[in-house]
Amino acid sequence: MKTPTLIVGTILIGTSFACGAQNPQRERPAEMVYYANAYADFYHVPREIVYAVITHESGWNATAISNKGARGLMQLMPATAAHYRAADPFNISENIGAGVHYLADLIAQLGDWRLAIAGYYCGPTYPLERGLAYANRDVVEYVNAIQRIYTRELSTPPKPEVLPAAPPSEPIQQDTQEVIP
């Protein structure tokens, strides 16, 4: 049996969502969509990719915890959350901000969104070394699952943007310090 690679765009039968997130069509609370859009725009990551990752990783469940210890909407591992300064991985803004920042860094480092998604799943080492010839079955299935959700997101007409009922508690945090003259 031939091992699938990332360049093969096969559609796999059945997808398991992390953390028991079996309903990819779960209602998306306005606050989550607000932060997903804001951080996607800020870090120049397509919104649909962010939606696809959140849908697959947690099913839009902000309190999701995987059996490996990943937490929150974008299922950040503790070391990744700490690296991207998400002190509370269940905080919607911190989790999405850190996850999208990580995705943006992976896209910049790996140069291809498929490799970035593979890197999001398993870390950047092997996708960086092997490129699109990376053939770990779990990683290929993960990338294909994200691609299917991404394609569905692109074909779904956007809903009118609704701001959260109350203003967001924290603005987007930037990496630069404000200079006061």
Mean pLDDT within 11-32: 54
Q: What is the CATH number of the domain that holds 70?
A: 1.10.530.10
Phi, psi values for residue 137, rounded to 5° = -55, -45
Q: Within a domain: residue 17?
A: no
Q: What pLDDT does 164 receive?
A: 58
CA distance 177 to 165: 29
Cβ contact 169:36 at 8 Å: no
| Domain membership of residue 81 as a residue range | 23-155
The tally of CA atoms less than 13 A away on the side-chain side of residue 36 is 22
Specify if 176 maps to a domain. Answer: no
The pLDDT value given to residue 132: 79
Residues with a known catalytic role: 57
With beta carbons less than 8 A apart as the criterion, state whether 151 and 49 touch. Answer: no
Tokens encoding 32:
């989550």
Is residue 15 over pLDDT 50? no
Write down the residue that tokens 């849908």 correspond to.
55
Q: How many domains does the chain have?
A: 1
H/E stretch holding 172: none
Residue 3 covered by a domain? no
Query: Is the pLDDT higher at 147 or at 161?
Result: 147
